[in-house]
Chain A
Amino acid sequence: MNAAPLDARGLGKRFRREWGLRDCTLTIPQGAVVGLAGPNAAGKSTLLALATGLLAPTEGSISVLGSDPLREPSVLAQVGYVAQGAPLYRSFTVADTIEFARRTNARWDDELVGDVLTRVAPSTKVGSLSAGDRARLALAIALGKRPQLVLLDEPFAGLDPLAGREFLQLLMDGVAETSATVVIASHVIADIERVCDHIVLLTDGGVRLEGNVEELLESHRILMGPRRPLGEIRGVRSIVRERYSGRQLTLLVLVDGPIVDPSWTIERVGLEELLLTYMAPERLPTPKPPERVPLRWHG
């Protein structure tokens, strides 16, 4: 009953000679709103396609709501998936599209769909909808079956900031209504940082960083101070990034206790800066899996 919405063990997918995803192990907690972040071609779409049974794993396994999406596709009735670019039949009207979705799904919630589409005229052809309304329609269809898991692949692509914000509001309202777990793949962190409470960062087909957003923010700090030789710093587990400018030294660190040295000015770090730092190949730390801190490190 309480199987994780999404659980991957050593999951890998090879396309001809290239691995699109490799050695991916992660568990998405029930009820989370997950930001699946990473640069283009990091493996985000591959992971979502594996989760929906559109691709078969080359190695390892993936389980969705406790079932193998390839062998037990009936589980997909509980999964709302919007692929990149929200592919829909352009010649259908909005009403046709909804009707089609209603008939192909066992469960359907007209009220929820209506809430998402209040401002979209039913007689409009899908091909002539604005990007924002098309995204709404795709979201309405994904939410209409009252899914337990919603997977969105780059839903903000092509949306202006206002449409993007409205999309998030509708999505979050849908989450409040259905208590669904949500995974939003996006290479633009600013688009998702308002809503995520869990992050999976993929780089080069592997999981680079995964964890609860609050724990990630609490366990990282920026230290600024005069340039100095770097040795052990009390309270610091590892240095994620070091930058020098003139006599100033700025560190992004993973902490494991209070920083007591008063010569450091200590600041918090925003999620976007944190993830961009971990994405950048300039200087990768080699953190050991911590014992007590519930963060998971890979790569």
Chain B
Amino acid sequence: MIEFHLDPRSGVATYLQIVQQVKEALRLGTIDVGDQLPTVREVVADLAVNPNTVAKAYRDLEREGLVVARQGRGTFVASTLAPASLRHHDALRAGLERWLAAAEAAGLDEESVRALISSTLRETLARRVA
């Protein structure tokens, strides 16, 4: 079962953090069709968050067709975001690890690595849009 965590400093609304964590788990295949999400009361008891926020996150996921609420039973994963490409993840991850080793050898620290990755991603996406 998925466990949520919260970063209040992130500037991302709590309900969005929950939505994003479910989607990420779906993308990575850590939860799959038929799996149950924790109930609203369980998340409230666990994280001390507002139940309306959890309900809103689940409603959003339901609207996107990713989960389905079954009356009195809970919320279940209805479809997956794990792309057909999930089988390529291992190979891509290995490539990324080699790249990270090269970056470390070149003297980049964690922050420089993050900065380089996010700026490259940003620029590549911008080129594609243009």
Interface residues of A (CB under 8 A from B): 31-33, 165, 168-169, 172-173, 175-176, 190, 193-197, 213-214, 217-218, 267-273
Size of chain B's interface in residues, with CB distance under 8 A? Answer: 21
Interface residues of B (CB under 8 A from A): 6, 8-16, 40-41, 44-45, 47-53
Residues of chain B within 8 A of A268, CB atoms compared: 10-12
B24 to chain A, nearest CB (A): 17
Residue from B11, B13, B41, B49 within 8 A of A195 (CB atoms)? B49
15 more A-B residue pairs beyond the given contacts A173-B45, A195-B49, A270-B9, with a C-beta to C-beta distance below 8 A: A33-B50, A168-B48, A169-B48, A172-B50, A173-B41, A176-B41, A176-B51, A195-B53, A197-B14, A197-B53, A213-B13, A214-B15, A269-B11, A270-B10, A272-B8
- Is B11 in contact with A172, judged by CB distance below 8 angstroms? no
Residues of chain A within 8 A of B16, CB atoms compared: 214
Residue from B11, B41, B48, B51 within 8 A of A194 (CB atoms)? B48
CA separation between A196 and B51, bound complex, in Å?
11
CA separation between A218 and B13, bound complex, in Å?
8
Is the contact region of chain A dominated by helix, strand, or loop, or is it mixed?
helix
- Is B8 in contact with A217, judged by CB distance below 8 angstroms? no
Minimal Cβ-Cβ distance residue in B for A32: B52
CA separation between A195 and B16, bound complex, in Å?
14
Minimal Cβ-Cβ distance residue in B for A31: B52
Query: When A and B form their complex, what is the total count of cross-chain residue pairs whose Cβ atoms lie within 8 Å?
Result: 64
Report if A194-B9 is in contact (Cβ < 8 Å); known contacts: A173-B44, A176-B40, A176-B41: no
B15 to chain A, nearest CB (A): 7
CA separation between A267 and B8, bound complex, in Å?
14
Residues of chain A within 8 A of B45, CB atoms compared: 169, 173
- Is A217 in contact with B50, judged by CB distance below 8 angstroms? no
A152 to chain B, nearest CB (A): 14
Residue from A197, A267, A269, A270 within 8 A of B50 (CB atoms)? A197
A60 to chain B, nearest CB (A): 29
Residues of chain B within 8 A of A168, CB atoms compared: 48
CA separation between A169 and B49, bound complex, in Å?
7
- Is B48 in contact with A165, judged by CB distance below 8 angstroms? yes
Residues of chain A within 8 A of B11, CB atoms compared: 217, 267-271
Minimal Cβ-Cβ distance residue in A for B118: A265
B48 to chain A, nearest CB (A): 4
- Is B52 in contact with A197, judged by CB distance below 8 angstroms? yes
A36 to chain B, nearest CB (A): 15
Minimal Cβ-Cβ distance residue in A for B13: A214
- Is B44 in contact with A176, judged by CB distance below 8 angstroms? yes
Residues of chain A within 8 A of B47, CB atoms compared: 194
- Is B44 in contact with A217, judged by CB distance below 8 angstroms? no
Residues of chain A within 8 A of B10, CB atoms compared: 268, 270
